[in-house]
Structure 1
Amino acid sequence: MNEISEYRKQIRKDIRRTATKTSLITIFIIIFVNVVAIIVSLILDKTGYWEVTPLSDMTTSMIIQFILCFPVCILFGKMLVKLPLRSLFSKPDAPTGKIIKWSVMFVGSAQFIGMVSNLIFNAIQTQTGTDLNEVTFLPNENIIDKVLMFVIIALVGPLLEELLFRGIMLTPHIRFGQMFAVVITGILFGLYHVNYVQIISAAIMGVAFGFLAVKTRSIIVPVIVHMINNSLGAIQYIALSYIDMDKLTEAEELILSGNSEKGTALMEPYLVPTMVTSMISISMLLVGFVGLIMFIIEMARNRHEYSLGRENCDGVPAVQKVFAYVSSPATIVLLVMIVGLTVLNAVPTILTDLLGM
């Protein structure tokens, strides 16, 4: 009995130690990205960059985050967990048919749940009269800005995020159980966005990507699926940038009031981008719904196919593992930091309002 107790105690210590490392990596990402962004912004202000650049604020911000900061964060994480990066890109260890089925099931279900959570957030805001700040990814009219935004959102971002979260951060957790590793790093992925709109959907999507990484023993599949998912979103953002919502609303009002000829003429320039965004939204909703139905059916018929290994943690309850993880001082600091930044992003005026009081 004492041996079992000592074994569980040692596992909890190891989990807390791993939690400290992964929490420090996430803290480093958040602090480093924000500090570099502030420094670079001050330098750009001095050089008059904002007056002459063809790039939007969002594209400039993403260049700072993914091109300047993320490679440093990945090197920091690699140093902390001592993991050879090449081992993460091994050939996927699963049949192509199963990989496609898993991708549709888990990523589709995550996409559907993310859409539902966003609808709930919007409904709560409408009912309470709250207007929270939402991050927008719309590029400006310059084609260079659109191309750069697409490349970063659809290609660079997914590669670097999967390398960090499903590679460097997921791998050291696997010894405590694959399910534990997938869920914990998925939640960390959601929290790292520090954006109330994305936290839930990104966390669920992170769990789906983690499942693919564990099942295929490689990050290649989650990288590709992440890229496809983000590509659709990036195309939507670019299409939306061609739409003048005020004029579109005016056109709809004209049509409803009986002046269909003038309304149609006003709406005509925006028909193609509107159709593109609508088709992508419908396609994503359809894939999400199909994925959710497939998930329910597969869980009822072939649950064993989707079980994840417990590794060397048999006998240690999940609650004890979670408590050991969140009791790490670094994890506590991370959670406080994320809550604060998420609130600040949602309500940017909260500090000035509080100081004014």
Structure 2
Amino acid sequence: MPRRYWYIIIIYIATQLSGILGAPLLLALGLSQSDAIAVWSIISFTIATVWMLILLKPEFAENSAHAGTGKIILWTILGFFLALFAQNIAGLIESNLFGVAPESENTELLMDIARQSPIFILLPVVFAPITEEIIFRKIIFGSIYKRTNFLVALVISSLAFAAFHFDFTHLLIYFAAGAVFAFLYVKTKSIITPIATHMVLNTVVVVAQYFITEEDLENYRQQLETILIGGIF
């Protein structure tokens, strides 16, 4: 694995852990807890994202030229619906086979911070998709794929992606999204495609959390389950 990949992994881990020191520092300066978390997250992830992109600049240029803008846009749109479908299937499996509640504590926690400090929305909508796709798809999936095969690389990288969200009751949902992102990466040969798809997916989730009630979501899940069961059986 290239040395710059190790630098990127170190940057990502350091950024994730930096809040242990950074947030308390901002609290000491008088910010509220939510503002301290939000501001530090944006500062640290801005630095990390810029640093990662600089390290990968030659590869990004090569990927864009190889895939083509039209192909990236097309598969970003198709990938969004594919990821949405895969996550809904995973959610139905979790609910019906394992009795897992549809609510995600991880998502609710992030949205609570975002409601109190709107700037935090930039983290799931912009910075998380870029950094996570670089780490889990380009570096982890890509490195394993070169040495084994698509299925092995997909399973390992998607499990790592799911586990790193620390929402183990919804491991299957995160795994499903990771699998779709890996497919898009291979299909278009450009990391830009899963990054863009991830951004669109997270944006829809954030908007839904703001404007759609739990009752609406439950009605949607019931309708989807009826359609799927009717279509399968």
Q: Do the two structures share a fold, i.e. TM-score over 0.5?
A: yes
Equivalent pairs counted in the alignment come to 221
Residues 1:44 and 2:16 are matched in the alignment: no
Q: Alpha-carbon deviation of 1:67? A: 2.6
Contact 1:109/1:289 (8 A) holds in 2: no
Equivalence for 1:346 = none
The residue number in structure 1 matching 2:173 is 201
- Whether 1:84 aligns to 2:59 is yes
Whole-Å separation in 2 of the counterparts to 1:155 and 1:286: 31
Alignment of 1:230-245 (within 5 A): 230-239=202-211
Residue 184 of structure 1, CA deviation: 1.9
Distance 1:288 1:210 in 2: 26
- The amino acid of 1:67's aligned partner reads T
- Structure 1 residue corresponding to 2:201, chosen from 229, 233, 244: 229
The percent identity for this pair of structures is 19
Aligned to 1:29: 12
Counting only pairs closer than 5 Å after superposition, residues 188-337 of structure 1 correspond to structure 2 as 188-239=160-211, 274=213, 278-279=215-216
The structure whose Rg is larger is 1
User: Would the aligned equivalents of 2:133 and 2:191 in 1 still touch at CA under 8 Å?
Assistant: yes
Higher helix share: 2
Paired residues of 1:56 and 1:140 also in contact (CA < 8 A): no
Tell me the secondary structure at the aligned position of residue 32 of structure 2.
helix
Name the CA distance, whole Å, in 2 between partners of 1:102 and 1:95.
Answer: 10
* CA offset digits 1:31-78 (Å, max 9, x no partner): x23431111023123222227xxx556634642563344555x379x5
Give the Cα separation in 1 of the matches to 2:219 and 2:199: 19
Q: Which amino acid counterpart does residue 47 of structure 1 have in structure 2?
A: L
Partner residue, 1:167: 138
Kindly provide the amino acid, as one letter, of the partner of residue 45 in structure 2: F
Q: CA RMSD in A?
A: 4.3
What 5-or-longer segments of structure 2 have no aligned partner?
Answer: none
- Give, in whole Å, the separation in 2 of the partners of 1:184 and 1:231: 26
Does residue 183 (structure 1) correspond to residue 162 (structure 2)? The answer is no
Query: Aligned partners of 1:29 and 1:170: how far apart in 2?
Result: 16
Q: Distance in 2 between matches of 1:92 and 1:287?
A: 33
Runs of 4+ with deviation above 4 angstroms: 21-28, 55-58, 68-72, 92-103, 277-294
3-state SS in 2 of match to 1:218: coil
- Which has the larger displacement, 182-191 or 282-291? 282-291
Q: Which runs of 5+ in 1 are unaligned?
A: 1-17, 124-132, 240-272, 297-357
Q: Where does residue 86 of structure 2 map in the other structure? A: 109
The answer on whether the counterparts of 1:186 and 1:203 sit within 8 Å (CA) in structure 2 is: yes
Aligned mates of 1:26, 1:116 — CA distance in 2: 33
Q: Distance in 2 between matches of 1:292 and 1:104?
A: 19
Q: What code does the residue aligned with 2:89 have?
A: F
Whether 2:89 is the aligned partner of 1:153: answer no
Deviations 1:285-326 (A, max 9, x none): 7679879999x8xxxxxxxxxxxxxxxxxxxxxxxxxxxxxx
- 1:48 partner SS: coil
**Equivalent residue letter for 1:169:** I
How has the CA–CA distance of structure 1 residues 190 and 173 changed in structure 2, closer, same or farther, with 3 Å as cutoff? same
Report Cα offsets for 1:163-213 as digits up to 9, x if no partner.
Answer: 332223322222222222222211111122123234332122101110111
**Are 2:137 and 2:182, in contact at CA under 8 Å, matched by a contact in 1?**
yes
Query: What is aligned with 1:253?
Result: none
Please say if residues 63 and 152 of structure 1, whose CA atoms lie closer than 8 Å, have aligned partners that are also in contact. Answer: yes
Residue type at the aligned position of 1:156: F
